[in-house]
Structure 1
Amino acid sequence: MRLTPDLASRIANIALAHTVREFPHKLDHVWNGAGDGTRPSAQHPIFYGSFDWHSCVHGYWLLLRLLRLFPDLPEAPAIRARADDVFTAAKVAGELAYLARPNSGGFERPYGWAWLLALHGEAALHDAAWGAALEPLARAFAARFTAFLPVQTYAIRNGSHANTAFALVLAHDWAAEHDAPLAALISRRARDWYGTDRDAQGWEPGGDDFLSPVLTEALLMQRVLPAADFAVWYSAFLPRLAQHQPPALFTPATVSDRSDGKIAHLDGLNLSRAWAWKALGHGDLAQIHLDAGLPHIAGDYAGEHWLATYAMLALEG
């Protein structure tokens, strides 16, 4: 399957709808007192839709990415108008004010941090005003990465939002263009955590994974190692790849209930594996996983509020 204009329009309409859908909403919020709570749009003037903050962030990333790849989409005027409305200094100031609250240091760490950097990186390739408006927010999260990575003793190797490697893939892509010291720090920490890993066992998927811990780690090491060094590392990390071992990595996940938000994560696992396999040079494996995940990006809001982003990653490679 290819990212055709028709498919791009379908994906754009999904994201245009959910990025401004305020309810249902799952807040990542610490109450500091009895009166410390309001509706999502009051706390987050930009990222109040899409069920949760991080999904709204990458929903906007998805819209801007589609706009750049397909500037003549029928939905392009609506995307531009939406971006003009939300990416303003005043609304970014509201998001920054939330970060400054007491007990907000762990807000959206690290997944939302990384997606915000990706959004800024995409916005900076478009209208200068969008990138300029979002830059203070991006710099705030870059500063959080810079402070946090040296004190994170251990990598988190699960298959969902806390996964260290996935966050650093996105953060490194941004930092390579916008923050050279952070890019260097990410490279060092990736080597610290993953550089001696060998013979990955592939104990996945877990019941609510949307990322492959094994393949996401490989994507990060592909970014931070020279090509020759990565080839050596990769052959030791997946020494039985040619034999499709361990088998769980090569078999799409089964999704038993797409109305259950956690079980629906497994559609995302199939799509994120397609993205990873393609980037790692295994187009046949990417296609198998894409075929399993792409038909299910809409239909139930449990997946519809976020899966199209991962379809975009998989389709674009």
Structure 2
Amino acid sequence: MTPDLAARFARIALGHVERAYPHKADHVMGGDADAYLPQVVHPIFYGSFDWHSCVHGYWLLARIRRLFPDLAEVAAIDALFARAFTPEKVEAERAYLDRASARGFERPYGWSWALMLAGELIVADSPHALTVQPLADAFVARFQDFLPKLHYPVRAGFHSNTAFALVLAERYARVANDGAFRTLLRDRAWLWFSNDRSAQAWEPSGEDFLSPTLTEALAMQALLPAEQFAPWFSAFLPDLAAGRPAALFTPAQVSDRSDGKIAHLDGLNLSRAWAMRSLARSVSDSVASVLNAAAAQHLATAIDEVAGDYMGEHWLASFAMLALTGTDGTRRQ
């Protein structure tokens, strides 16, 4: 992760977090009174095509602000945060969750990205961390209510993926020193995934931006102690040193980047690189070398595709940042 690349990512995000249209709403209308205008209903997160992409666009800028405080773009980031993160606007975003029809709003993908943003502000000792905290508290409460009801994890390769939400939520729980929340995340992960063995990795599907297989492993790595994770991972993917399952090691091909769902596959290449580089830290040298080589191949395939068509541009740089700096965010993962 270099200053030049960080500056490029910052300019991309600054160009879309306040771009209201095109806009894809996650909004239920019960009558004429529920008519939807993005900037009225969501005074902070109205840009970037959809709510969750706007949230992780702000997260991307917060991470750049923390890791590269001397960039010329930091002044624009600070000005944006000052006008966005006001108590009144945060309360409007939080109050939206009180709507009876908003029970499933952005569950769980947007919830977890909101917590990643709050966690990044905490780690950066940002003056906006306390302002955003009521929104983070609301999403923690939603996780606490929802996860015990979720008997079966969602293993899809896109927004509804349960393991991905656990990874991001775990990072927040750790930096916010919320031990009870982290325990809930760990216990649910163990309940859902502990008996998984010899993953076949039937992926990707045509709309994946997450690897169901690797994201599950990433969640278990984040939530289990090393001595518990190691035997689980060896049983879950026993043939990694031999490059199997082969499907995991072949970067996805993107046929049409103007198609928002097909463009997801650029994100798959980036999120696989993130997962592989993270997992490589917890395995033997022989497995680590295979994972790191595959991660480099996936990253090289996708890193130049983060800008171009807006269907990818409004979100891909966030996943590139994960691939390059990891979940916790260091200049070298």
Moved more, 163-172 or 240-249: 240-249
Q: State the Cα distance separating 1:38 from its structure 2 match.
A: 2.6
Q: State the Cα distance separating 1:97 from its structure 2 match.
A: 1.7
- Name the residue aligned to 1:224: 223
- Name the residue aligned to 1:112: 110
How far does the alpha carbon of each residue in 1:72-94 deviate from its partner, in whole angstroms, 9 at most, with x for none? 00101000111111011010011
The amino acid that maps onto 1:65 is: R
The amino acid that maps onto 1:99 is: L
Answer yes or no: is the 8 Å Cα contact 1:32–1:102 preserved in 2. no
The amino acid that maps onto 1:154 is: Y
Q: State the Cα distance separating 1:223 from its structure 2 match.
A: 1.2
Aligned length: 315
- Superposed, 1:97-246 pairs within 5 Å as 97-126=95-124, 128-178=126-176, 179-246=178-245
What is the SS of the residue equivalent to 2:151? Answer: coil
Q: Indicate whether 1:301 and 2:310 are aligned.
A: yes
Q: State the Cα distance separating 1:9 from its structure 2 match.
A: 0.6
- Superposed, 1:254-265 pairs within 5 Å as 254-265=253-264
How far does the alpha carbon of each residue in 1:40-61 deviate from its partner, in whole angstroms, 9 at most, with x for none? 0101000000000000000000
Q: TM-score scaled to structure 2, two decimals? A: 0.93
2-side partners of 1:150 and 1:127: how far apart? 32
- Name the residue aligned to 1:64: 62
Moved more, 299-308 or 37-46: 37-46
2-side partners of 1:210 and 1:38: how far apart? 28
2-side partners of 1:85 and 1:125: how far apart? 21
Q: TM-score scaled to structure 1, two decimals? A: 0.98
Q: State the Cα distance separating 1:287 from its structure 2 match.
A: 0.4
How far does the alpha carbon of each residue in 1:148-188 deviate from its partner, in whole angstroms, 9 at most, with x for none? 00010000000000000000100011112322111000000
- Name the residue aligned to 1:53: 51
Gaps spanning 5+ residues in structure 2: where? Answer: 281-290, 327-333
Aligned match for 1:284, one of 265, 283, 293: 293
The amino acid that maps onto 1:14 is: I
The amino acid that maps onto 2:300 is: D
Q: State the Cα distance separating 1:225 from its structure 2 match.
A: 1.4
2-side partners of 1:95 and 1:314: how far apart? 29
2-side partners of 1:229 and 1:128: how far apart? 35
How far does the alpha carbon of each residue in 1:5-48 deviate from its partner, in whole angstroms, 9 at most, with x for none? 11111000000001000000000000021231131010100000
The amino acid that maps onto 2:61 is: L
Root mean square deviation of aligned Cα = 0.9
2-side partners of 1:213 and 1:125: how far apart? 28
2-side partners of 1:234 and 1:150: how far apart? 24
What is the SS of the residue equivalent to 1:115? Answer: helix
Q: State the Cα distance separating 1:125 from its structure 2 match.
A: 2.7
The amino acid that maps onto 2:298 is: H
Q: State the Cα distance separating 1:128 from its structure 2 match.
A: 4.3
How far does the alpha carbon of each residue in 1:249-272 deviate from its partner, in whole angstroms, 9 at most, with x for none? 000001000000000000000000
What is the SS of the residue equivalent to 1:103? Answer: helix
2-side partners of 1:104 and 1:205: how far apart? 31
The amino acid that maps onto 1:301 is: Y
What is the SS of the residue equivalent to 1:160? Answer: coil
2-side partners of 1:210 and 1:128: how far apart? 30
Q: State the Cα distance separating 1:310 from its structure 2 match.
A: 0.3
What is the SS of the residue equivalent to 1:124? Answer: helix
2-side partners of 1:71 and 1:87: how far apart? 19
2-side partners of 1:270 and 1:151: how far apart? 32
2-side partners of 1:108 and 1:74: how far apart? 33
2-side partners of 1:312 and 1:277: how far apart? 14
1-side partners of 2:202 and 2:125: how far apart? 44
- Name the residue aligned to 1:316: 325
The amino acid that maps onto 2:211 is: S
The amino acid that maps onto 1:27 is: A
Aligned match for 2:80, one of 79, 82, 85: 82
1-side partners of 2:125 and 2:233: how far apart? 39
What is the SS of the residue equivalent to 1:11? Answer: helix
Answer yes or no: is the 8 Å Cα contact 1:118–1:170 preserved in 2. yes
How far does the alpha carbon of each residue in 1:216-245 deviate from its partner, in whole angstroms, 9 at most, with x for none? 000010011111221111110001111111
Answer yes or no: is the 8 Å Cα contact 1:64–1:122 preserved in 2. yes
The amino acid that maps onto 2:308 is: G
